[in-house]
A and B are shown apart, each in its own frame.
Chain A
Amino acid sequence: MAELLIEGVAKSFGPVVALAEATLAIGDGEFVALLGPSGCGKTTLLRIVAGLEEANCGQVLIGGRDVSALPPRARGLAMVFQNYAVFPHMTVGENVAFGLAMARAPAARIAKQVARAASLMQIETLLGRYPAQLSGGQRQRVAVARALAVEPAVLLMDEPLSNLDALLRLEMRAELKAVLREAGTTTLYVTHDQTEAMGLADRVAVMHEGRIVQIAAPSDVYRRPASVFVGGFVGNPPMNFLRVAAVSGEVRLGALRLSAPMEEGGLLLGIRPEQLAVVETGGFLFRVAVAEPLGTHLLLTGETGGQRMRAVVPPDATVVAGAELLLAFDPAAIRWMDAASGRAIGAA
């Protein structure tokens, strides 16, 4: 176990800039999720940390030691690959023991560690089988057990759950969280699934176009997104952004008078759909185009003042398409964004 420091790492593949610049510090035993849409450079960053890819510049430090020039095997880490990369010619037991066998650990230690990792991942009964005889979920467990068995300083995971079906993913997510908490391993976890990142991680690093745009606790990323991109990417449904104008330090939205972070000019008002509430008087007018009953809540899609907006209301509300409602929200829930740069105004 050790802290992981990524400093100013960049990588281009010919003309393609995969990673513009990434700096990230992960504390000892911390679980950080690297979250971003596909193609934003997550895998590239993970592979650079692992030593499978060479960065154009920047450093990777594990436990204070600069490992940038070391081959993967000398970095003291373990990795769970997206397609598991469980060796098909070895039994589950041989797979889990692989890292220790390569390090020429004593047989007794190998047996002990394999048993421990297997019991953590509940694959004790599968140790004699070959990967071809396992389901996708079981292979995934083997891949995690193989990584845990070496007691790595840092554990890297690249979308480990993305090949599982939805129900299994939910199950494995909870299980992974419990197992990794118990193991206390410093973990960098790559995913494009925001619920996975929010549910698992101590902190979430949101990536966009080769850059880390926000690093914060899941609830902070959710409530206080650093940019329009983060607000739109994290959360389902995404944050609403309304183009509004400040006049004399005030923004008017229907009957609402909101104090703006600037005197005059255009800006974006960010508000989460579930922060919106239906009111009898006051508020602003919202015209419902589609109402989707989703069990736990009712998702309304419509427009206000010609701008698209989504609202989440309690499931018992009877709202039909075409209805006109008055909506209001707590001004404290607003996230103001600069209209030009798309970045949050005020503190990060």
Chain B
Amino acid sequence: MRRDRLLAYALIAPSILFLAVIFLIPLGQTIALAFTRHGTFGLANFARMAGDLNFRNAVANTLGLVIVVVPLQLALALGMSMMLRHLKRGRELILWIWSIPLGVSDLAAGLVWLGILTEKGYLNTILYHLGVIHGPVSWLTYETPLALFIGILVAEIWRATAIIFVVLVAGTQLIPAEFEEAASVFGATAWQRFRRVTVPLLRPSIQTALILRTVLAFEAFAVVLAIGGQNFPVLLSQAYLWQDTNQDYGVAAAYAVLIMLITLAATLFYLVALRPRAGEVA
């Protein structure tokens, strides 16, 4: 018994060590970097970050993106996984097609959508030929914030809904058909079955998907940068700007710490808000 437990720890040890080296140590260094400016310990980097012209925009854009994109994607992915669940034929093919965006890199996806939405892109060409517009229209400038936001939204939805979708599909496959059948025998309509039985039973998967997706949404970067550039600052693109353009590692680290705190808070929120009721699981 004791030997077994020792063996278990021994087997876990390499992964812990690995994590420590590639994750915990850089994390510690980043935090140290964020709280040190010109050799003195303090909040100077954070003050500099908050005083920056683009800071409020970056916070607002990031939060706005998360608040709009995550619920939309959850609703879409739930709908998609329900449709898939009730398909009799061609399930594999559709699952495969809907998962394609997972295999496309962020930047590639961003560039594809840039190609569609840019002044001389496919969207304008189509709209022009349909007679909706009379010449090239710029959608992606700081003068058209709504169009820019929607453009980024569409690209993000295209790119990252599949992450939620595959988690939910895996979850739905764990739910025996009997529960929905029992619900329908006992008089539940399709909507009641979905609301009262399927969604609650899917809750662990929904929780996982939301945490994953929200964390990734706070870290949205490549797509946003490709489409919006500095017209649509978000937290991570600001961190990148300070790191790469301004060469100010302290402020970049402060951004990183801020993002980490926000994602931690979001994760905690989901863990608490979507926890099972006492006694529900043995």
Contact = CB atoms under 8 A, between A and B. Distances in A.
Interface of A: 50-52, 71-73, 75, 77-79, 81, 83, 85, 87-89, 98-99, 102-103, 129-130, 132-133, 146, 150
Contact of B186 (A52, A102, A130, A132): A102
Interface in B188-239: 188-189, 192, 196-197, 200-201, 203
Nearest to A75: B185
A232 B98 CA distance: 54
B282 A78 contact: no
Given A83-B176, A88-B201, A89-B201, A78 B186 contact: yes
B279 interface: yes
A99 B186 contact: yes
Nearest to A134: B282
Contacts, number: 75
B185 A52 contact: yes
Interface in B23-77: none
Contact of A85 (B181, B276, B280): B181
14 contacts: A52-B185, A72-B184, A72-B185, A73-B187, A79-B185, A85-B179, A87-B182, A88-B201, A89-B201, A89-B277, A129-B279, A130-B277, A130-B279, A150-B187
A133 B279 contact: yes
B178 interface: yes
A51 B184 CA distance: 9
Q: Which of B178, B185, B196, B276 has the most chain A CB atoms inside 10 A of its CB? A: B185
Contact of A102 (B181, B188, B281, B282): B188
B183 interface: yes
B169 to A, nearest CB: 20
A126 B250 CA distance: 59
Contact of A73 (B176, B189, B279): B189
Interface string B264-282: 0000000000001101111
A132 B201 CA distance: 14
Given A81-B182, A132-B281, A99 B201 contact: no
A146 B186 contact: yes
A99 B187 contact: yes
B185 A88 contact: no
A56 to B, nearest CB: 16
B182 A132 contact: no
Contacts of B196: 98, 102
A102 B277 contact: no
A88 B281 CA distance: 8
Given A83-B176, A132-B280, A133-B282, A150 B184 contact: no
